[in-house]
Amino acid sequence: MTIQIPIIMYHRIGGIHTRNLYQGYTDANIVISEDNFYSQIKKLLKYYSIIPLGDLVNNIADDFVLPTHPCAITFDDGFHEMYDIVFPILMKLNLSATFFISGNYLAGTNRVRWLDLYYQLLDSGPPTYIDTIIKNTHPNLQNMTNIRMAFKHLLRQLPLKEKYQQLSDLKQALDVQVNTQSLNESVYLSPKNVTEMAKAGMSFGAHSMTHQVMAGMSREVAIYEVIESIRNVREITKQKEVAFAY
């Protein structure tokens, strides 16, 4: 018998404890409010048994017996509100979830994911001004309806070094100062946060090291992104089994 099990995936939760929630996240439709999130989980509990993702995997591999109407909850990218907002809610409801984190983007690494940096830059000036700058430096995007979205898709396809070079050029054109260390520490979970959550019953998965499109990578680089990110999660959490989401 085939059983379809929903996996509910979230990115950002907006609340009083959320840090650096730039407009770009809202425009990308990856943000819900804290109250909405809590209501959704309560609604899910009326119809589903929320289980750890590992139980689902064990069912597939070892005929592990699942409860009636199971579902799993996951969170991508390791934003800091996972600790400040999501973790307390899950503990209150006695639930477990899986959090997928990118190895290079934890608080303390002094690195900022290209997309988070881009969203910050977009918030640094009037949209029409930013659109003009992007048009002047990328004439091929001039006829696009949404210049900022088109530039984001262009960045997504570039090698990592070129992504940051393009963003550095945009930052210079906008005359904006960015404190990478401060941004890093405010946006992402820290290894200490991860350790505390793992000890309390949350699970963590790997989400690559650099959060890039892997289709354009060499086989060697893609293998590194997968294996190293799994090793990184295992080292912090001491988990034996680490899921990978891409």
* 56-105: pLDDT as tens digits: 888 777 766 788 899 999 999 999 999 999 999 999 999 999 999 999 99
119 pLDDT band, cuts 50/70/90, is: very high
Pairing state between β 70-76 and 7-10: parallel
Q: What is the pLDDT of residue 1?
A: 58
Round to whole Å and give the CA distance between 97 and 203.
6
- Angle at the Cα of 130 from the Cα atoms of 129 and 131, rounded to 5 degrees: 90
164-203 burial: b if 16+ Cβ within 10 Å, else e: bebbeebbebeeeeeeeeebbbebbbbbebbeebbeeebb
Round to whole Å and give the CA distance between 40 and 26.
18
Question: By three-state DSSP, how is residue 21 classified?
Answer: coil
> pTM score, two decimals?
0.93
Region of 39 on the Ramachandran plot (φ > 0 left; ψ -120 to 50 alpha; else beta): alpha
Q: What is the pLDDT of residue 99?
A: 98
Whether residue 216 has pLDDT greater than 90? no
Distances (CA, A) of 205 to 10, 25, 226, 240, 243: 14, 22, 11, 11, 5
Phi and psi for 104 in degrees, rounded to 5?
-80, -15
Percent of the chain having pLDDT more than 90?
Answer: 81
